[in-house]
Amino acid sequence: MISDSQILQIIAQGENSGVEFKRDDIKPEALAKEIVAFSNSNGGVILVGVEDDGVISGIANSHINEEWVSNIVRHNVIPALEVVSTTAEVDGKKVFYIEVPKGKDKPYQTNKFQFLIRIGSTNRVATQAELLRLFQQSGALHYDKVGIDRTSISSLNYYKLDSYFNIFEIKFDEETSSSQEQLLKNAEILTEEGQVTLAGMLCFGINPSKYLYQSGIAFAHFKGSHITDELIDRQFIEGTLDYIIDTTLAVVKNNIKAPSIIVGAKRVETAIGYPDKVFRELITNACVHRDYSIVGSQIRLFMFDDRLEMHSPGRLPNTLSIEKIKLGSAYSRNPVLLKFLIHTRYVDRLGRGVPMIFQEANKLGKEIKMEEFGEEFIVTLYF
C-alpha cells in the first residue's frame, strides 16, 4: 500500500520523466497515452486527483477505481499491460495512484495505433529510429541481421572468412562461388538478397567504417578527473571487431600509469591494478551489446586519473537490469554478432564476464558503477 507521506514526496518532486499529474476528469484515451508512454520508457507513476502545479484537487468521480484502470490497460493499450493501482487519502482528499512498470513487451501502442515515449515531463510520438530501438529492446527485431546498402560478397575479407570457417573444418576458399554464397547466407553473414549483414560487416568486412559510421571506439585520456582537463591522448580505433578489441586494449594498457621502483637492473611495479582480462571484458561487452541502430554515436572510452568510463550507445534490453547483469544474467541485443565472437573465442558463452569484473574489483577494494543515462549505458571502473 502506498502511504500518504510517500504520495506527498512524489508530488513534491513535480512532474518529470517518471511522474505525471492528472485531474479526475481524465478520459480513458488520455490515460492510455500516459500508460503507453511510461511503459515504452522506464516506467512511472500517475497521480489522478492532482493538478499540474501539484495542488491536490482530489477525486469526485467514483468510477475512478482499480477496475476502471484494468479495463483501460486491457482494451486501450496494446499489448495489454499489468499496472498497480490504489486509492489513497491525502490531506483529506482522495488521490488515485497508478504505478506503470517499464514494459517487457515493447513497443506498446494505444488502440488508436499511437506509439508514444516519455521525454522529460511530456509524451511524444516515437520517431522511426526510436520505434526501431523499441522493437530491438523487445527482441522482436535484431538489427545485426539487417543488410547494409551498397554491399555484396565482394565487400568481405576472404582471408577472415577462410579462418572463420576453418573452425568448422570447412575449406571456404576451395568451395565454388555458389557454395560460398550459400554458406555465407546460412551463417547470416549475407542476407538472402546478397547484402552483407551488419554483423557480417563488423566481423568480416574489408572496411566496416565505410558503411557503418557508428562503428569503432573513440578513446580519450585526460590529465585530471574532468573532461575539461588537459587532453593527453586521443585516438579513434576502427576496423573489424577483433582488431578494435585488441587495439583498444593495447591503447588502454599504454595509457595506464603503473607506479614502479628500480630493483637492481629491473623496474618493478609497486601497485597492483586490474588484470588485462577486466579491460578486455569491458571493451568486448561494449562492442557486442551496443545498439548499432544509433548511427550518430560511437562507443566512447574516457580515461581519467581516478577512473575509466565506458559509454556504450543504447539502454539495456527489456529483460535485463543492472542487478541481473551483476549476477551473470545475459540477453543479447545482437545475437549474430555474439555468435561470431563466441566462435572466435572473444566471448565466453557462459556469461561469466561481468561477475568476473566485480570479483576482481572486490579483490582490489575498488568500486565499479553501472548506470543508464539517456540513450547510453555507462560503466565506470575506479582506480
Nearest 5°: the CA angle 244, 250, 252 is: 100
Confidence of residue 267 (pLDDT cuts 50, 70, 90): low
Task: Identify whether the C-beta of residue 376 lies closer than 8 Å to the C-beta of residue 311.
Answer: yes
Cell of 40: 515504452
Cell of 7: 504520495
CA dist 154 and 383 (Å) reads: 45
Does the structure show a pLDDT above 70 at 319?
no
CA dist 130 and 140 (Å) reads: 14
- Decide the pairing of beta strands 307-313 and 376-382: antiparallel
Does the structure show a pLDDT above 90 at 178?
yes
Confidence of residue 127 (pLDDT cuts 50, 70, 90): confident
pLDDT at 10: 94
Task: Identify whether the C-beta of residue 98 lies closer than 8 Å to the C-beta of residue 85.
Answer: yes
Residue range 185-225, pLDDT digits in tens = 999 999 999 999 999 999 999 999 999 988 999 999 999 99
Dihedral over alpha carbons 256, 262, 264, 269 (to 10 degrees) = -40
pLDDT at 270: 44
Q: What is the DSSP letter of 195?
A: P
Q: pLDDT higher for 61 or 345? A: 345
pTM value? 0.72
Does the structure show a pLDDT above 50 at 365?
yes
Residue range 224-255, pLDDT digits in tens = 999 999 999 999 999 999 999 999 999 999 99
3-class state of residue 91 by DSSP: coil
CA dist 18 and 2 (Å) reads: 16
Confidence of residue 139 (pLDDT cuts 50, 70, 90): low
Residue 24 has phi, psi (to 5 degrees) of -80, 0
* Average confidence (pLDDT) over 153-173: 95
pLDDT at 266: 66
User: Could you give the angle at which helices 353-364 and 276-289 cross, rounded to 10 degrees?
Assistant: 140
pLDDT at 318: 65
pLDDT at 374: 82
pLDDT at 193: 96
pLDDT at 331: 73
Task: Identify whether the C-beta of residue 96 lies closer than 8 Å to the C-beta of residue 64.
Answer: yes
Task: Identify whether the C-beta of residue 218 lies closer than 8 Å to the C-beta of residue 177.
Answer: no
- How crowded is residue 17: how many other Cβ atoms within 10 Å of its Cβ? 16
DSSP string, 216-241: SEEEEEEESSSTTSEEEEEEEE-SSH
